[in-house]
Amino acid sequence: MNKAEASRRRLLDAGAVEFAEHGVAGARVDRISADARVSKAQLYAYYGSKEALFDAVLFDRVAVILGEVPLTPGDLPGYAVRLYDAYLADPRMVRLATWARLERTPVGHLFSAADEVPKVQAIAEAQRDGLINAALPPADVHSMVVALAMTWSPASITFTATAADPEADHERRRGALAEVVRRAFAP
């Protein structure tokens, strides 16, 4: 990794912490640049604006989640549980998405609709193969599985789990989540 790439990486990491905590409006470029050990001038040269840096941070965190938790339409319960674990391991992703919804994109797709196409197609293929209830629109199946996986995430209005919770609680939640997804989308 060259010096510019290392600086961008530090900005993305510092930005993830700052934006997850304060949102776009509350985040401070001074804190991000200081934490990243990159000048404000460089931050603006790389990203152009605080909002563009936020978008880059959100895209980066989504890419991490997608890399760690690829969609497995033949095993939606397992996919949902792996999403639960990913959100538990890095709650910043959910917080960033929540801030994006509140401050940047209040309605419609949060991410590009084109990003959803491969996932929706994979679910549609699993429906054709008899693995998932074919009466449900594939895009809706994907949205509901993601939402179910977020039941105990920082976006929850009832209870937010943390990595510090007893493992027995996590196992109970994983089991309940897998069972609900299995039943909800069974053919």
Same domain, 77 and 52: no
* Domain co-membership, 107 together with 159: yes
112, 22: one domain: no
Q: Domain check: are 15 and 40 in the same one?
A: yes
Q: Is residue 63 part of a domain?
A: no
Sequential pLDDT tens for the chain (187 residues): 899 999 999 999 999 999 999 999 999 999 999 999 999 999 999 999 999 999 999 999 988 888 899 999 999 999 999 999 999 999 999 999 999 999 998 898 887 766 678 899 999 999 999 999 999 999 999 999 999 999 999 999 999 999 999 999 999 999 999 999 999 999 9
Same-domain check for residues 52 and 74: no
Sequence-distant (≥ 6) Cβ neighbours of residue 160 within 8 angstroms: 91, 152, 153, 154
Question: What is each CA distance from 166 to 59, 169, 176, in whole angstroms?
Answer: 31, 5, 16
* Cα–Cα distance, 99 to 94 (Å, whole number): 9
Question: Are 103 and 39 in a shared domain?
Answer: no
On whether residue 51 sits in a domain, the answer given is yes
My answer on whether 146 and 76 are in the same domain is yes
Whether residues 132 and 110 share a domain: the answer is: yes
Using the 8-state DSSP alphabet, how is residue 158 labeled? S
Residue 46: CATH number of its domain = 1.10.10.60
CA distance 76 to 67: 17
- Supply the range of the domain harboring residue 141: 69-187
Domain count, the chain: 2
- 85 and 128 inside one domain: yes
CB contact at 8 A, 84 and 173: yes
Query: What predicted TM-score, i.e. pTM, was given to this entire model?
Result: 0.89
List of residues 6+ apart from 39 with CB closer than 8 A: 33
- CATH assignment at residue 187: 1.10.357.10
